[in-house]
Amino acid sequence: MTNVIELEQLSVTFGKRPILKSLSGALNGRAIGLLGPNGAGKTSLIHTLLGFHPPTAGTARIFGQDITTDAKSVRATVGYMPERDSFIAKMSCVHFVRLMAELSGIPAKHALERAHEALFFVGLGEARYRPVDSYSLGMKQLAKLAQAIVHGPKLIILDEPTNGLDPPTRSRMISLIRQIRDGGRARILLSSHLLRDVEECCDEILVLKDGRIAANCNLEEERKANRKFIELETRSGNRAAFVEAINRLGCEYALSGERRIKLIMNETVEIGDLYRLALEHAVQIRRLNFKRDSLEDIFLKAMENGDAGEGAVASASNGNANLIENGNAKANESANGRTNDGGL
């Protein structure tokens, strides 16, 4: 299968200042989240993929097409929603979107029809003849999305699509992005400072820091990780004997306060085993939560590890395990009766 985006030692330098530094990797998600702090190189990467900045070294490919040698084909394949407004003054929205369709290679006789379809899709059908200057911020964002999808691209690049939107309009934008993703006709590259937006829409992330790849992670695989991290809240019973029995099952654990237990389930252990042990030791399980590394966990680990590359992803995936390991000695002491946790 052809990669959606393939980076091959891609480097970009402005003057003597390196902006992107030997980026390498393959991205294949239905929706790819591009994350990083300000100045990390996100916009520079997008502009390089679009051909605005020529690579200083290396190259990149979009659906197998080289961004340098196949630049014209790449631009016809890609739809771009910029962060900043780029409308033409006094022009109605439908005529603006039609113009963008023509510039993307759609014949003039079909461009107007496609513009109407795109504007109805994003919810601007009733306002399509109004000048874009008269639009609210939310409507302008929707108009930018319409011009990005009007020519039926295979890859849609969205740069801060929810920036400045009120909650209802943001919800509408996220819903549209997910509809495009689930429709299967186009892949999405979503650049955003809002981790919540990326987590709701994307199944793969690329994190940049100082012009390098800090993490490249498939979120779906993270969510389906084999290691089961569980948080229990218990009441009454013999807690020390309960956690000692959990330990004998091969589960790593740590005690958190007087009532909470954090543990990593052994692959052979089921939730029913925990309830069986609780019954044997007269322990009440009042609450049981499954926990996975959130996108915030992965992002923060990537920032901590800097240029660790794939190691940053591994570190993020093992974040919960490290937490258990750090608390394990104290937990074992409590389970063996060498400390007094105050009882339950």
Look at residue 58 and tell me whether its pLDDT is greater than 60: yes
Look at residue 120 and tell me whether its pLDDT is greater than 90: yes
Distance CA 229, CA 258 (A): 19
Query: Are residue 71 and residue 116 in the same domain, yes or no?
Result: yes
123 within a domain of the structure (yes/no): yes
The pLDDT value recorded for residue 306 is 54
Distance CA 10, CA 24 (A): 7
Spatial neighbors of 96 by CB under 8 A, at least 6 apart, are 87, 88, 132, 143, 147
Q: How many domains does the chain have?
A: 2
10 within a domain of the structure (yes/no): yes
Cβ atoms of 159 and 177 within 8 Å: the answer is: no
User: Of 200, 222, 244, which residue sits at a domain end?
Assistant: 222
Confidence of residue 337 (pLDDT cuts 50, 70, 90): very low
95 within a domain of the structure (yes/no): yes
The pLDDT value recorded for residue 21 is 95
The pLDDT value recorded for residue 293 is 60
Look up the CATH number of the domain holding residue 236: 3.30.70.100
What mean pLDDT value characterizes the chain?
A: 84
In the chain, the percentage of residues whose pLDDT exceeds 90 is 55
Window from 6-15, 43-52, 165-174, 243-252 with minimum mean pLDDT: 243-252
Query: Are residue 213 and residue 248 in the same domain, yes or no?
Result: no
Query: Are residue 188 and residue 86 in the same domain, yes or no?
Result: yes
340 within a domain of the structure (yes/no): no
Query: Are residue 17 and residue 72 in the same domain, yes or no?
Result: yes
Q: Which residue has the higher pLDDT, 237 or 66?
A: 66
343 within a domain of the structure (yes/no): no
341 within a domain of the structure (yes/no): no
Confidence of residue 224 (pLDDT cuts 50, 70, 90): low
Distance CA 139, CA 161 (A): 12
Confidence of residue 291 (pLDDT cuts 50, 70, 90): low
Confidence of residue 338 (pLDDT cuts 50, 70, 90): very low
157 within a domain of the structure (yes/no): yes
Query: Are residue 19 and residue 32 in the same domain, yes or no?
Result: yes
Query: Are residue 278 and residue 210 in the same domain, yes or no?
Result: no
Query: Are residue 17 and residue 115 in the same domain, yes or no?
Result: yes
Look at residue 311 and tell me whether its pLDDT is greater than 50: no
User: Of 155, 187, 222, which residue sits at a domain end?
Assistant: 222
Query: Are residue 188 and residue 216 in the same domain, yes or no?
Result: yes
Cβ atoms of 34 and 206 within 8 Å: the answer is: yes
The pLDDT value recorded for residue 226 is 45
Look up the CATH number of the domain holding residue 45: 3.40.50.300
Query: Are residue 17 and residue 162 in the same domain, yes or no?
Result: yes
Give the model confidence (pLDDT) of 76-117 as tens digits: 899 999 999 989 989 999 999 999 999 988 998 899 999 999
Look at residue 271 and tell me whether its pLDDT is greater than 90: no
The pLDDT value recorded for residue 235 is 87
Query: Are residue 19 and residue 143 in the same domain, yes or no?
Result: yes
60 within a domain of the structure (yes/no): yes
The pLDDT value recorded for residue 223 is 62
Query: Are residue 178 and residue 70 in the same domain, yes or no?
Result: yes
Q: Which of 237, 159, 154 is nearest to 191 (CA)?
A: 159
The pLDDT value recorded for residue 227 is 55
Query: Are residue 213 and residue 245 in the same domain, yes or no?
Result: no
User: Of 155, 190, 222, which residue sits at a domain end?
Assistant: 222
The pLDDT value recorded for residue 320 is 46
> HEC states along the chain?
CCCCEEEEEEEEEECCEEEEEEEEEEECCCEEEEECCCCCCHHHHHHHHCCCCCCCEEEEEECCEECCCCHHHHHHHEEEECCCCCCCCCCEHHHHHHHHHHHCCCCHHHHHHHHHHHHHHHCCHHHCCCEHHHCCHHHHHHHHHHHHHCCCCCEEEEECCCCCCCHHHHHHHHHHHHHHHHHCCCEEEEECCCHHHHHHHCCEEEEEECCEEEEEEEHHHHHCCCCEEEEEEEECCCHHHHHHHHHHCCCEEEEECCCEEEEEECCCCCHHHHHHHHHHCCCEEEEEEEECCCHHHHHHHHHHHCCCCHHHHHHHHCHHHHHHHHHHHHHHHHHCCCCCCCCC
Domain limits for position 173: 5-222
